[in-house]
Structure 1
Amino acid sequence: TIPACNANYLPEGISEHCPIKVTFVEEGLNTNKLFQFCNVWAKHPLFIDKVQAAWVKLLMVLLKKELKVLNTQFFRNVVAEANDDRMALYLAQNKLQADPMNMTLQRRREGEILEVQKYIIYGRDVLTT
């Protein structure tokens, strides 16, 4: 059987394609089970490698927090600016969909696309999804 799903049609962003976000509807609730450590795991040859990998991941989480502070203090919060520009593009595209022949809205959309693209030109897409 085909699982139940929902489709959400999104604005095209800086592309000329209209993305669709498909989410599957879960039947029943997933209940999270409590973690229970088993001593026998520590005897497995891969145990130390797994623990070290998790430790490195934890350090990356801490580094991410520090980089967010650096961004806010010294780069005028470029991520928030990029998200604001993306939202302005989204709004311009929605207005243009309602009135596609409006030249003013077409120019506004093109300007918003340029604003969003400047973050990509700098070599890093800072937009969050």
Structure 2
Amino acid sequence: MLATPDDFFFSGLNIPRNTSNPVGSTVTPVNVAQIAGLNTLSVSLARIDYAPYGQNPPHTHPRASEILGDVFVFPIGLIHFHFNIGKTNAVAFAGLSSQNPGVITIANTIFGSDPPINPDVLARAFQLDQNVVKSLQAKFWWDNN
């Protein structure tokens, strides 16, 4: 299959996204799934829109390091989060060291897994009452990616 100009172009990073969701943020990824021309280039990026006090919940990128904003470095696999401490909307751009960095949101993975992780295991691991664990497992876990 031959490459086309569309394989090297993505439009839309200038458009603010809707942050009216439980975590107050939305991520717009630009990786090999959006731009086929990134394949084998070991680079991608993301726009993160935040509502006031919005957050990008604790997560990790299993196949990439991340550089965010003014510049903070998150090494590959490090669990990290972003938080807008301001009273107004905010936006950040992140560069990632892979064309397919992946993202694993920790709370979703732990408390929203299907099938669920045994509540006894989670209660002991996080030193929580089993009722708290069951309550967390019953919630709908929002994915802002």
- TM-score of the aligned structures, taking structure 2 as reference length: 0.18
Which structure is larger by alpha-carbon Rg, 1 or 2? 1
Higher helix share: 1
The structure carrying a bigger strand percent of its residues is: 2
TM-score by length of 1: 0.20
